[in-house]
Amino acid sequence: MISKKITMLFIILVLFACGRKESNDLFRQPVVGVIQNNQVPVLIKTIAEGEVRIEYKSTDESAGRFTEWEKLSENYDNTTNLILTDLNPNTEYNYRVEFEDGNYSKWFKFKTFPEQGVAGKFNFIFSACLREKYMGFNIFEKIEQSSPSFVALLGDQMYSDYDGNLNELERYLNNDSIRQAMVDEGEIVLDDITVLGAFRNKYNRVYGANFQNMASSIPLMAIWDDHDYGRDNSDGTYPYKKEARKVFKENFPDYSFVDEDGGIYYKFSIADVDFFVLDTRWYRSPMQNEDGELKTMLGSEQLEWLLNELKNSKAKFKIVFSSVPSNDYGGDTSSGRDGFDSWMGYTFERNKILSFIDKNQIYGVMIFSGDQHYPSAHILNWKSPLNYVSKTDNSIEYSLENLGTAVFDFSASPLSYRKTTGHPLIPANQENPRFSYEIFRPEWAMPEKVEYNDDIIITSVYGAVEIDTESSPANVSVKFYELNSETSKMVEIYSIKVTY
C-alpha cells in the first residue's frame, strides 16, 4: 500500500505530460518582464515546439509592429523570451502571440514605466510566499485593482519541498517496490520523472488562471527564496540548484542577470530610482556555520557588485530586494539546524554593508523582503535620538534630513498561505537601535486568534509602495495590507513615509 504522501508526489509529476495538440497554442498566458531602455521581455510558453513572435502596438497606433521570430524547444520546456522594442514611457500597449501556422492568441495589454533617468511617480506591490495549496482567495485581482507599475515577487513562488517533496524523488525511485507499484497502478511513467520535470510541474501548479491574468498585464520582478530554490533554508550546497535556475528562467522573463551561469541577481531602474535584486541562496554559506568573516550570504562577487553599485548610484532612493529580511527580530531556525536563515544569521556581512553605506554617505537605501510571514518595518542603523516628522497610531513619517544614512527594512508576506507569525509590539525595543520600531499584525489577525483549517486561506499580506521623485521633497510611502478573513477585504494596517 503506497502512502498518500508518496502518491501525491507522483501524481503531480505527470501533469501535462500527455494530450498535446497537433497545432500549437499557448500553454498559459504570457508573462511581462521589467521594462528597461525602451524595451521589455515577454516570456511565452506553448504546448509544443515551433516558432512564435509577438505583434504589438500602442493604443494610439493603428498598425502593429512585430518582434523577431523565436524558436521554441522542449529543452527549454517550450518557453522563450520575445523582446518588444522602441517602447514609449507611460504608454499602454496591446500585444498578441502569432504562431508559425498563422494563428494568433487573444490580445493582452500592459503599461510601460515612467521615463528612465528623470524624476517621476510610480508604484509597486511586494510580497512573497505563494503556496498553491492556499490560493483560494483571489489576491491577484486585488493587486490588479491597485494598478501597480510592477509586482515584486520576493521568493517562494512555489514550494518544491511541500505537497510532494521533489528532493525525495530519487529516494522514492530507488525503492524498487514503491516504483513498481506506482507503475502498475498507472500513476507514473518512468521516462517522465526527473528532478527537472518535478520543478517544472511545481510551477505549472501555481500558475493558476488568476495569477496568469495578473502576470500577462502587470510587469513582474521576481527572485527566489529557499522553497522555490529547492529546500527549506537552502544554501550554496543545494545539489539541484542548476535545475532550479534553469526552471526559474523558464517561468520568469529575462532580467539581464549579472552572472548568467551563477546566481540570479540583477539591477534595473525606473524614473530616477535604482533597484538592486539580490540572490540570497546561490552563494550563501550554511546557516549553522559560525558567523564571521568566512560566512557569507551573497558571496564575494555579488557583495562587491552591490557595494559598488550603491556607491556609484546617483538615485535619490536605492531600493534593494532581498528574499530574506534584514532585521534582528527573528529568523527561521527550522530544518533541525542551529543558526538563523535570515540576515540575523549573517550579521558580519550585513554590518559590512551598513558600515560601507555609512562611510560613503550613501543616502536613501531601503531594503524590501519577504519570507518573514508578517508585515514589519525597521530602521537598521539609526543613532539615538530617533526623530520623526509626524506620527499617529497607524502611521509615521521620517525625513532623511534627521536620519542621515539610516537603512530602512520593510518585509511583507505571505501572499497566499495559511501560516502566519508575529506578536504584539514590544515597547522596550522602541528605544533599542537594533530594532527601532516595529509593525505587527492587527488584533483581529493575531495568530492565536485565528482558527486554522484546510478549507480557507487564512491570510494574505502585501506592501504597497508609492515613489514620487517629482515632488519636493521626494518621498517613498509604504503601506501594509492584510486580508481580514472575516470580511474578505484587504485592510491597510500601517503606513510609513520617508522624505529625502
C-alpha cell at position 220: 513582474
**pTM given for the model:** 0.90
What phi and psi values does residue 83 have, to the nearest 5 degrees? -100, 115
Q: Are strands 70-72 and 79-84 parallel, antiparallel or unpaired?
A: unpaired
Q: Is the pLDDT of residue 294 over 50?
A: yes
CB 436: neighbour CB atoms within 10 A? Answer: 23
Closest CA to 269 of 323, 321, 319: 319
Q: pLDDT at position 441, please?
A: 64
Q: pLDDT at position 393, please?
A: 82
Q: pLDDT at position 403, please?
A: 92
Q: pLDDT at position 13, please?
A: 41
CB 99: neighbour CB atoms within 10 A? Answer: 19
Closest CA to 353 of 317, 399, 320: 320
List the single range of 7-21, 59-73, 146-160 with lowest mean pLDDT.
Answer: 7-21
Q: How far apart are CA 312 and CA 309, in angstroms?
A: 5
CB 361: neighbour CB atoms within 10 A? Answer: 9
What average pLDDT does this structure show over 121-131? 96
What phi and psi values does residue 61 have, to the nearest 5 degrees? -95, 140
C-alpha cell at position 159: 514550494
Q: How far apart are CA 317 and CA 300, in angstroms?
A: 24
Neighbour-count burial of 77, counting CB atoms closer than 10 A to its CB (0-12 exposed, 13-18 middle, 19+ buried): buried
Q: pLDDT at position 420, please?
A: 66
Computed from CA positions of residues 320, 349, 356, 384, in that sequence, does the dihedral angle turn out positive or negative? positive
C-alpha cell at position 44: 511565452
In which element (H, E) is residue 203 found?
helix 195-206
Q: pLDDT at position 440, please?
A: 60
CA 371 to chain centre: 10
**CA geometry: angle 378, 383, 385, nearest 5 deg:** 95
CATH numbers and ranges of domains, the chain: 121-156+173-499 (3.60.21.70)
Q: Is the pLDDT of residue 9 over 50?
A: no
Q: pLDDT at position 1, please?
A: 43
